[in-house]
Amino acid sequence: MTTQGVQTGVIGVTGYAGAELARLLIRHPRLHGKPPVFAGRVDEKDAARGGTPLTEIHPQLAASNGNSHLKQEPFSWELLADRGVKVLFMATPHEQSREWAPEALKRGIRVIDLSGAWRLLDPANRAVYAFKDEGSDLAAQTQAQAVYGMPELYRAQIAGAKLIANPGCYSTSVILPLRPLVAAGLIDVESGIVADSKSGVSGAGKSPTAKTHFMYAADNLSAYGVFAHRHTGELLEQIGLKTGEIVFTPHLLPIPRGILSTIYVRFREPQTHGSIARVYGEFFANSPMVRIYEKGLPQIQYSVRTNYADIGFQLDASGRRAVIVSCLDNLLKGAAGQAVQNLNVMMGWPESEGLE
């Protein structure tokens, strides 16, 4: 266990997830006095003054504890080496992470990657990303080192990992409620599982598009990525399903943040509320960031701006069918918070430290 802080670095602080990552790391009790090194693209004017002040990028991070001196500095590997960065968070586009993660590993830096670059083991599932380096020796060697960064499933592997592939936000909201039930053999997967998921607009990233600007998203609800969303491969691999055993449909909600997934399943044998609660209770017994609702169902308002994944369920009168509702904050448990949770596990710190 590492009791003292570790020097972290962040590439990609300008986005929504990057802002949350900065906030969490700056305030993390184990990192007091060791703020992250923020690196990225800096224009010529800001480069002349040593970088862009963090509080100009995200004014909400201004505080009386000295954050005003923190800057996003021009990225270079020499900068990270000079500052002694040991763990690098990459909130970068997928292709950028494909290029930079192998270089970081070569330099002895451990990586927590928030992109989809290294999440998928099956080349058929990775095809949705159309990575330019697919099939290369370096990509294969790097992929072999990657650990899927869901502590509830892979704590032991994360602790010793050099490269952590942080899960997708939708994926987290579906994998956590389904994995325990599928692993226990309770779900009749041949009958098919339906995951109907809805996310706030921040899940689409900070760069504006025709479908995320106010006039499109406000007072609207729309489905997208039907049968083609890139998180589908994560569901298949991490839940243990075959293509055709789950239908996953994402929707865009007219709210800033949060995800609600409504999941419909059929059991092989009749179940009771108590039997399902026991499966969840045993599976998540040591998972401080998962809350199981014994009564009622989760709502986005209860999990937003927290790192909790909330799971609730109801059975029909026959005990053969269930509706499961899962909620989380797509920028926290779905991105930055889960990344810090992975850091805690990696360092041997309490898993929820700095997150509750």
Q: What is the rounded (10 degree) CA torsion for 37, 21, 138, 146?
A: 130
Contact 179, 173 (CB under 8 A): no
Which structure tokens are listed for 197? 């998921």
Q: What is the rounded (10 degree) CA torsion for 18, 19, 22, 27?
A: -150
Euclidean distance between the first and the last CA atom of the chain, given in angstroms as a whole number: 21
DSSP assignment string, 15-56: SHHHHHHHHHHHH-GGGTT-PPEEEE---HHHHTTTSEEHHH
Classify 229 in phi/psi space as left (phi over 0), alpha (psi -120 to 50) or beta. beta
Single-letter residue type at 200: G
CA–CA gap between residue 191 and residue 15 (Å, rounded): 40
Single-letter residue type at 307: N
Contact 323, 263 (CB under 8 A): yes
Measured in degrees and rounded to the nearest 5, phi and psi for residue 213 equal -75, 160
Question: Which of 6-30 are b and which e, b meaning 16 or more Cβ less than 10 Å from the residue's Cβ?
Answer: bbbbbbbbbbbbbbbbbbbbbebeb
Provide the 10 A C-beta neighbour count for residue 42.
18
- Exactly one of 11, 13, 164, 169 is catalytic; name it: 169
Known catalytic membership, residue 327: no
Give the active site residues.
169
